[in-house]
Amino acid sequence: MGTESRLKKLLSGFHRSFWVANSLELFERLAYYAQAAVMSIFLRNHLKFSEVDAGTLSSLFGGFVYLLPIFAGTFADKYGFRKAFSFAFLLMSIGYFAVYLVGSPFYSSISVALPLFWVLVIVLIFTAIGESFIKPSVLGTIAVSSTPQTKSLGYAIYYTLVNVGGAVGPAIAFFFRDKIGIDSVYAVSAVTCALMFFGTLIFYRVPESALLIEQPSLGQKMKDMLSVLRNGRFMVFLLIFSLYWMMFWQIFVIIPFYLTDFISKTAPFEIIESVDAWVIIFLQVFVNRVTRKMPPVTAVVAGFAVSTLSWLVIAIEPNIWTIIAAMVVWSFGEMTQAPRYYEYIADHAPKGQEALFQGYAFLPIAIAWFVGGTFGGWLYSVMTKSILVRTGDMVKVLGQPTGIWLSLTGIGIVATLLMLVYNSYITRKDRGATA
């Protein structure tokens, strides 16, 4: 009874808007990861782009989704989270539906002046602008709708729901791709976002505490954002970290290509992509307890090293089960480093600039997407060029592209060594400052 009473008291420390914002985040992640799970195959197999062009379009979309929150957060703070949520879901519903139309017979029946590639560039950037307003609005709502005692739990709930979306979204994508067609996944994402637009208008109310916060001018906020770029030590840390996320995004670029080309055209690549998220949902707390005594940057180095091993697991014997095993290995590395990454940023942000520095936490993910999609498409194309013979829709396999997995392993080794050197340098410097 005592435990129930404490839990009830803890949960009562959240404003109603906390639960509404996290519900919106859950459904946004369902929509995002559903389409992300099929994007590379949709672009290559359905719209007939090359692996490089498909990767480039993925890069543009993913890169802007994670880069623009740095700017979108400024406007969300200035004009209010309710307006930001509404604006975001309106753009996303229109954008995802436009991608659905591009993939449907409707598009081929009309005359369009712009080539298909550039039509998608415009549509995907438009959609990414909407996506970029979600995370700052959710994280901002958590900050103003929870008490100091419940804030940590609030972020834990948020992180869990993000992974639930990452796990369930691909499963939804697999169902609709299998039963209706791959383009229908974008229609589902569009409908989901449209429902969340109306959900925001009906249910979301700005917490009273947010109305009392006096916001700096947009000009001052922009100056603060630029000041972070002059912090060389922090920028180096973020650039090294982008190598990790560049490997991560290959789960959504290279893995689907490989599964459908080398394993089976009907391989459930969406389900396999979601293994990482499912493992995190069930084991994150356990891994946190095991690694909690590690210094943050040491935990990051360990996480890099463990995740790097996942590509070697595939290289040993590439098949569905080793790829699933590799996703599990990757997730242990991610669980080791991800929470400590945000802890490191919080610990090293100048006083009064904690939120500003956390806004840059998404920068490595953005850099990784801008580079990783094109890189993944190029790497796959180069490594499989001589061992995949395509005749119409028929593909003949002449060998195994082991070089793909070894190349990704090499990136992981470089990232781990760079972070190890960074850790040693920072540790020495901090010790010197303390002395």
Counting runs of H as helices and runs of E as strands, what totals does the chain give? 21, 2
Alpha helices in 103-150 (DSSP H): 105-108, 116-131, 134-145
Answer for the pair 72, 132: CB distance below 8 angstroms, yes or no.
yes
The SS3 call for residue 146 is: strand
Tell me how crowded residue 279 is: count the other CB atoms within 10 A of its CB: 21
**Domain membership flag for residue 211:** no
Are 182 and 295 contained in the same domain? Answer: no
Are 305 and 383 contained in the same domain? Answer: yes
pLDDT string in tens for the chain (435-residue length): 455 555 565 566 688 888 999 999 999 999 999 999 999 999 999 999 999 999 999 999 999 999 988 888 778 877 888 999 999 999 999 999 999 999 887 776 665 667 899 999 999 999 999 999 998 888 888 877 877 777 767 777 888 888 899 999 999 999 999 999 999 999 999 999 999 999 999 999 876 655 555 556 667 667 777 777 888 888 899 999 999 999 999 999 999 999 999 998 889 999 999 999 999 999 887 888 888 788 888 889 999 999 999 999 999 999 999 999 999 999 999 988 887 887 777 676 666 565 567 668 889 999 999 999 999 999 999 999 888 777 666 667 777 899 999 999 999 999 999 999 998 877 666 555 554
Angle at which helices 250-258 and 51-67 pack, to 10 degrees? 160
- Please provide the DSSP assignment of 222-258 as one string: HHHHHHHHT-HHHHHHHHHHHHHHHHHTHHHHHHHHH
Taking alpha carbons only, the member of 313, 306, 274 closest to residue 405 is: 313
Are 173 and 276 contained in the same domain? Answer: no
Taking alpha carbons only, the member of 368, 411, 376 closest to residue 67 is: 368
Are 191 and 251 contained in the same domain? Answer: no
Q: Give the pLDDT confidence score for residue 354 in this predicted structure.
A: 59
Are 104 and 172 contained in the same domain? Answer: yes
**Domain membership flag for residue 208:** no
Q: Give the pLDDT confidence score for residue 393 in this predicted structure.
A: 66
- Of the chain, the end-to-end C-alpha distance in Å amounts to 50
Backbone angles phi, psi at 111, to 5 degrees: -95, 125
Which residue is it, tokens 């014997």? 317
- How far are the Cα atoms of 77, 143, 157, 164, 371 from residue 152, in angstroms, in the given order? 21, 10, 9, 19, 33
- How far are the Cα atoms of 67, 90, 162, 241, 244 from residue 366, in angstroms, in the given order? 5, 23, 17, 11, 12
**Domain membership flag for residue 218:** no
Are 279 and 167 contained in the same domain? Answer: no
Are 234 and 199 contained in the same domain? Answer: no
Are 174 and 247 contained in the same domain? Answer: no
Are 232 and 199 contained in the same domain? Answer: no
* Residue 9 exposed, middle or buried by CB count within 10 Å (0-12, 13-18, 19+): exposed
* Boundary residue ending a domain (203, 238, 255): 203
**Domain membership flag for residue 364:** yes
The SS3 call for residue 388 is: strand
Q: Give the pLDDT confidence score for residue 290 in this predicted structure.
A: 86
Are 33 and 73 contained in the same domain? Answer: yes
**Domain membership flag for residue 210:** no
Answer for the pair 177, 117: CB distance below 8 angstroms, yes or no.
no
pTM of this structure: 0.86
* Boundary residue ending a domain (157, 188, 203): 203
Backbone angles phi, psi at 388, to 5 degrees: -120, 120
Which residue is it, tokens 């391989």? 267
**Domain membership flag for residue 101:** yes
User: How far is residue 99's CA from residue 120's CA, in Å, rounded to a whole number?
Assistant: 7
Domain count, the chain: 2
**Domain membership flag for residue 40:** yes
> CB-based contacts of 147: which residues, under 8 Å, 6+ apart?
13
Q: Give the pLDDT confidence score for residue 4 in this predicted structure.
A: 59
User: How far is residue 140's CA from residue 209's CA, in Å, rounded to a whole number?
Assistant: 11
Q: Which domain holds residue 383?
A: 228-435
Q: Give the pLDDT confidence score for residue 111 in this predicted structure.
A: 59
CATH code at position 123: 1.20.1250.20
> CB-based contacts of 70: which residues, under 8 Å, 6+ apart?
225, 359, 360, 362, 363
Q: What's the number of CA atoms in the CB half-sphere (13 Å) around residue 375?
A: 19
**Domain membership flag for residue 212:** no
Q: Which two tokens stand for residue 161?
A: 């729901």
Are 291 and 159 contained in the same domain? Answer: no
Taking alpha carbons only, the member of 234, 240, 236, 243 closest to residue 371 is: 243
Are 164 and 247 contained in the same domain? Answer: no
Tell me how crowded residue 61 is: count the other CB atoms within 10 A of its CB: 24
> CB-based contacts of 377: which residues, under 8 Å, 6+ apart?
40, 50, 51, 52, 53, 54, 55, 56, 58, 253
User: How far is residue 186's CA from residue 362's CA, in Å, rounded to a whole number?
Assistant: 25
Q: Give the pLDDT confidence score for residue 338 in this predicted structure.
A: 83
